[in-house]
Amino acid sequence: MSIKVQDTRYKDITARSILYAVLVIAAIYYLAPLFLMIITSFRSMDEIRVGQLIEWPKSFSLDAWAAAWNQVQIGAREELGLKPYFINSIKMVIPSVAISTLLGALNGYVLSFWKFRGSEIFFALLLAGCFLPFQAILLPHSIVLGKLQLTGTVSGLVMTHVIYGVAFTTLFFRNYYVNLPGELIKAAKLDGAGFWMIFYRIILPLSTPIIVVSVIWQFTQIWNDFLFGVVFSDPDSQPVTVGLNNMVNSTTGEKRYNVDMAGAIIAALPTVIVYVVAGKYFVRGLTAGSVKG
């Protein structure tokens, strides 16, 4: 818990106001780009053309949003706008997050309570894998996807994200579990509870905070990924980041700042909502042990 500040100086109103001023100014810095994106997305192109980029809208219009969602022609596609890409992203992100989180929980469980010879070394090697520059593995990974008949499919993307996300989820769960009291498990083992029983009855019910962390992390990473999304997809599975990139590059003559901004917000909306809604649990989950060591 936070430190109860008894120090008299901090009761001082001036110091307190300075503190708030600093925090609010910082908040403005963090919010400014989002604010700019939002107001621009409501302006019309005529208004932007004569005015300037940073300006309060004279009239609010949702045209740019509608255009970005399902009216803009991207390449020579049948379907217009970001909508099909957005749906692809949803199809990709849900199984990827679910599988990688489950796998991470199981791995963390084994690496914390069922250690065997070499499991520590394996954990270190797995962790090192987080740092692989992904540009380097694109071609070898393509070969494997090809052999598995998964080239350009949503399943292929899910597999890719699970493979390269499991190191992170394992790290989260393992660091969380090692801080749980080991006696609990020992007692359960003595009572004859087996591997799965302990996992379901004891570990899983205690895991909510770290599941939240893992889900938020994976959701953000996978939703926002561009590199895997562009290289391992085909027209029927391209995720929204690729759609946004195509859309921003689909201009004629002038940049349609309003449409681009609306598109950028649409592409970012799910992750921002997740952060706003579950942000509280995120910090709580981190506190619960995932950042220790």
Tell the smallest beta-carbon distance from residue 81 to other proteins (Å): 13
What is the phi-psi region of residue 79: left when phi exceeds 0, alpha when psi lies from -120 to 50, beta otherwise? beta
Structure tokens at 44: 């019309």
Subset of residues 63 to 82 that bind other proteins, contact rule: CB under 8 A: 73-78
Contact 248, 136 (CB under 8 A): no
Tell the smallest beta-carbon distance from residue 104 to other proteins (Å): 9
- Among the listed ranges 16-24, 56-64, 80-88, 90-98, the one in contact with other proteins (CB under 8 A) is 16-24
Q: Of these, 14, 56, 139, 191, which contacts other proteins (CB under 8 A)?
A: 139
Q: Is the dihedral of CA 218, 223, 228, 232 positive or negative?
A: positive
Subset of residues 92 to 121 that bind other proteins, contact rule: CB under 8 A: 103, 106-107, 109-111, 114, 116, 119-120
Contacts of 273 by beta carbon, 8 Å cutoff, 6+ apart: none
Subset of residues 221 to 250 that bind other proteins, contact rule: CB under 8 A: 223-227, 230-232, 234-236, 241-242, 244-246, 248-250
Residue with tokens 């192109």: 45
Structure tokens at 118: 């070499």
Q: Of these, 25, 31, 87, 94, which contacts other proteins (CB under 8 A)?
A: 31
Window 141-160: contact mask with other proteins (x via CB under 8 A): xxxxxx----xx--------
Tell the smallest beta-carbon distance from residue 205 to other proteins (Å): 19
C-alpha gyration radius of the chain: 24
Q: Of these, 62, 87, 94, 125, which contacts other proteins (CB under 8 A)?
A: 125
- Among the listed ranges 59-67, 137-145, 180-188, 200-208, the one in contact with other proteins (CB under 8 A) is 137-145
Q: Of these, 41, 170, 214, 258, which contacts other proteins (CB under 8 A)?
A: 170
Residue closer to other proteins by CB (options 59, 117) is 117
Residue 91 sits in the site that holds other proteins (CB under 8 A): no
Q: Of these, 12, 17, 25, 54, which contacts other proteins (CB under 8 A)?
A: 54
Residue 39 sits in the site that holds other proteins (CB under 8 A): no
Residue closer to other proteins by CB (options 96, 107) is 107
Window 176-215: contact mask with other proteins (x via CB under 8 A): --x-------------x-xxx-------------------
